[in-house]
Amino acid sequence: MEEEDQQKVADLIKELVLRLLSGNPASGSQQLTSTSPTFQKYLRYAVRILSARLRPSIAPDSAAIAESIKRRLANQGKSSQALTFSELYNKFESKTGPGSVNNKWAVLHLLNIISEDRKNTTTQLDSSSVLLPNLAFNDAELGNDLRVSRKRGSKEKGWNNGVLLVSKDPENLREIAFKEFVNLLKEENEISEEVLVRDVLYACQGIDGNYVKFDTNSDGYVLLDSIKVPRATRIMVRKLCELGWLFKKVKGYIQESMDRFPAEDVGTVGQAFCAALQDQLSDYYKLLAVLESQAMNPIPLVSDSAASGNYLSLRRLSVWFAEPMVKMRLMAVLVDKCKVLKGGAMAGAIHLHAQHGDPMVQDFMRRLLRRVCSPLFEMVRSWVLEGELEDIFAEFFVVGQPVKAESLWREGYMLHSGMLPSFIPQSLAQRILRTGKSINFLRVCCDDRFWAEAATEAATAAGTSTRRGGLGYGETDALESLVDEAAKRIDKHLLDVMYNRYKFKEHCLAIKRYLLLGQGDFVQYLMDIVGPELSEPANTISSFQLAGLLETAIRASNAQYDDPDILDRLRVKMMPHGTGDRGWDVFSLEYDARVPLDTIFTESVMAKYLRIFNFLWKLRRVEHALIGAWKTMKPNCITSNSFDKLQHAVKMPLLSTLRRCQVLWDEMNHFVTNLQYYIMFEVLEVSWSTLSNEMEVAKDLDDLLAAHEKYLNSIVEKSLLGERSQTLYKSLFVLFDLILRFRSHADRLYEGIHELQARTESSLPSQDKSRSRKKTSDKSNNKSSEPGSWITDGRKALTQRASEFLRNMGQDLNAISKEYSSLLENFISQLPVQQHVDLKFLLFRLDFTEFYSRMHPSS
């Protein structure tokens, strides 16, 4: 400032002091002049205020300062003055535009400080201790003082943060101390702080500086040992350079992953993760650009508090790096965690680090995961709404493999638990898997295209779009809603197709009627016409002839009214046979379940049906054999008046043998009848009723599969075909074989009786012969004409041979009876220990009168 300007300022200050003292009664009634002692005291006080560095330590809030002033006036009992001040402040605050005060809070703060200072010094104003030292003071000295204070103030910026410091150091002791401190810093530091700041910024970009370089031994950026700096500075540089080490790790991972991107171990999720990291590094680069611009400004001295605030020191750099350090550390941890992961596993690992209490970290991880999970959610959307598995890098938690159409549902797609992210529950993943499987099943196996409408309706109902990008991380509720709506509609459409277009229920009923022998008239007629054929050796039977007999049985029974498509699927199957097997042992029926029904009626399922059919066929064969024996044993076939002429030695054994045969037949018939009732009604019908009810409430194909599997397993277990009933099953088949052997003995017995009847008739009058010959069967006549028959022998020989034959047959029947009783006792004794409750009910039916219990109390 020029000398003239300085003089003008001094004159203005004098004039201001004179006017203030003239209007102040406390100054006395004497005339004030520029040379009076009172004037000189107040002038020095004014100069001290104007030359002081006023640095308030409070926030620049004019409203807070005004409120403080009003509160102080009210506490002093000056309510009227507080009210007046409030009105004046409102007018002062409302003035805007040209000519108004911009820095209003500073004006209020100055007035408040002056008021408090005057209050504290009013009683001591005459004391020289509160004023500046009593120096010679004239106009020239006043100008010099103002000149010095102006130069000092020109280095400061208007109102900076700080405290109010009133200068009491005319000899500049503080300036001297600051200079000595600066000299001491220069002696302790070989390089300046500006240079260290620039090197630290270089290190934070992964670049070696002049003095801060990367040390492979310590695996980090360090300040060279040859550089002389304080230990605290060296530690601070090391801490700041940690950001560079973290940056280098993250940058290296991104570069390495992008170089290997077409490889399968990176994948689209890994690429999205690298892109998200790169976005964060872009923000980091912007921050470094700002810091580098500030690093160009020199760092001011400690005493130079009025210098520019846009400089960068190590301490300021530590403040700037606080938030980037947290983010970079988190990214480095994620990089280490995800090096060997990909796809859903990578997304799940990153999600675990999002469970953090810091809102800044939560927001950072949320933005990062939204980018990372974008490919994964797109795979979910495409799979749930389109049935497309867009997973060329094996990142999705649904895995597909090429299989046949009949195995598509069970084996075509499955969950890969290793790729299931932790933010997707297992139950939701199962619904996602089933929904996509249903679409592919409809498209591939059912040749259906109407599922697309159901998918569109599901997306509309869930409030999402079928386009890409409709879902993202953090929208788990929206994802669940979409999956639920899609699953509900697509599964319903799938069941409608299975029930209406492919008639699943009708096919299940057809299998029950034909393979499980539920169609009584068809089964009875089939056994009647194939019986003679199946009695031949298995290797002599023609399957084409049996197929013709099957067709005949269908046309001769109510089966002819069934759907032609169902009847066309019913076929004869000859099982593998060995030497000595009869047709009864290898004959079976099979049902051709085509796509898509073969998804439910798989080969293993049809094998179970075959086992059940063989068991039921053997049971029906035994029943058929007992019926045939009964037809032979009818009284009108063997009763004749000629028996009255038999000798007592023949007649009594004959009647005893016939009675023994009849009693044994009754026992066997009782067992077979009750067993067949149990199988047909307690097992088959009850299981079918349960299956029908479960089919009505099934919500998806999995429910249908589970219901049918439960139905089939129930039949297997209750029919003694389960693994836990193998001993009982073998005992039952031994009983069946014994009953069939009884049938052959009964046939042999009655054939012999017919021959005896024919021989007896030969001794009757001619007219009786003619009548009796009409009643004899062709088979008996053929037997009687053979050499060595009873008819060719004499009467004595007839009696002898008849007695021997009846004795042998009686012994055979007794042996069969004993064996049957032993086997039946063994069978019944095993029923109470069976785990299935229905098998215990079979015991109740077989021994309802407790006949066997009383006969064998020890068992």
If you search the block for the tokens 């009284």, which residue do you land on?
635
CA separation for the pair 827, 192 (Å, rounded): 104
Alpha-carbon span 791 to 763, nearest angstrom: 10
Report how many domains make up the chain: 4
pLDDT digits (tens, 9 = 90+) for 670-727: 999 999 999 998 899 999 999 999 999 999 999 999 999 999 999 998 888 888 888 8
Same domain for 653 and 711?
yes
Of the listed ranges 195-209, 455-469, 557-571, the one predicted with least confidence: 455-469
Residues 245 and 232 reside in one and the same domain: yes
The more confident residue out of 532 and 77 is: 532
The C-alpha atoms of residue 378 and residue 471 are separated, in whole angstroms, by 7
- Of 601, 619, 641, the residue at which a domain comes to its end is 601
- Residue 139 in any domain: the answer is no
Same domain, 439 and 514: no
The two structure tokens encoding residue 521: 């008239």
**At 779, is the pLDDT very low, low, confident or very high (cuts 50, 70, 90)?**
very low
Task: Check whether residue 684 and residue 696 sit in a common domain.
Answer: yes
Examine the domain organization and report whether 397 and 529 are in the same domain.
Answer: no
Task: Give Rg (Cα) of the chain.
Answer: 56
- Return the H-helix or E-strand segment holding 806: helix 795-830
- Same structural domain, 537 and 435: no
Query: Would the pLDDT of 778 be above 90?
Result: no
Is residue 560 included in any domain, yes or no? yes
In a shared domain, residues 491 and 507 = no
What value does the mean pLDDT take over residues 403-422? 90
Residue 842 has pLDDT above 90, yes or no: no
- CA–centroid distance for 398 within its chain: 11
Which tokens go with 823? 């086997």
Query: pLDDT value at position 175?
Result: 65
Which pLDDT does position 202 carry in this prediction? 92
- Shared-domain flag, residues 325 and 201: yes
Residue 767: inside a domain, yes or no? no
216 within domain boundaries: yes
For residue 412, is it within any domain? yes
Hey, which bits of 394-513 come out as E strands? 398-400, 413-415
pLDDT band at 184 (very low <50, low <70, confident <90, very high): low
> Are 214 and 322 within one domain?
yes
What is the DSSP annotation of 187-206?
HH-SS-HHHHHHHHHHHTTT
- Residue 245 included in any domain: yes
Same domain (yes/no): 624, 720? yes
Please say which residue of 575, 601, 627 terminates a domain: 601
Rounded average pLDDT over 85-102 = 76
Q: Is the pLDDT of residue 135 over 50?
A: no
Q: Looking at this protein, which amino acid is placed at residue 5?
A: D
pLDDT confidence bin for 413, thresholds 50/70/90:
very high
Dig out the tokens for 762 from the structure: 């030969």
At residue 308 the predicted structure's pLDDT band, cuts being 50, 70 and 90, is low
Q: Are residues 272 and 217 in the same domain?
A: yes
Contact 154, 195 (CB under 8 A): no
pLDDT of residue 171: 55
Task: Please write down the HEC assignment for all residues of 756-806.
Answer: HHHHHHCCCCHHHHHHHHHHCCHHHHHHHCCCCCCCCCCHHHHHHHHHHHH
The residue among 548, 569, 601 that closes a domain is 601
Return phi, psi of residue 571, to 5°: -140, 160
Residue 747 corresponds to which amino acid? D
Rounded Cα–Cα distance for residues 366 and 423 (Å): 13
| Domain hosting residue 483, numbered range | 355-501
Question: Do 164 and 248 touch, CB atoms closer than 8 A?
Answer: no
Give a yes or no: residue 34 inside a domain: no
Looking at the domain assignment, is residue 18 inside a domain?
Answer: no
Residues 381 and 510 in one domain: no
Report for 111-120, 141-150, 281-290, 300-309: range of highest mean pLDDT: 281-290
Give the pLDDT confidence of 634-644 residue by residue, as tens digits.
754 455 444 55
pLDDT for res 179? 67
Q: Which residues pair with 591 in a beta bridge?
A: 570
- pLDDT tier for residue 777 given thresholds of 50, 70 and 90: very low
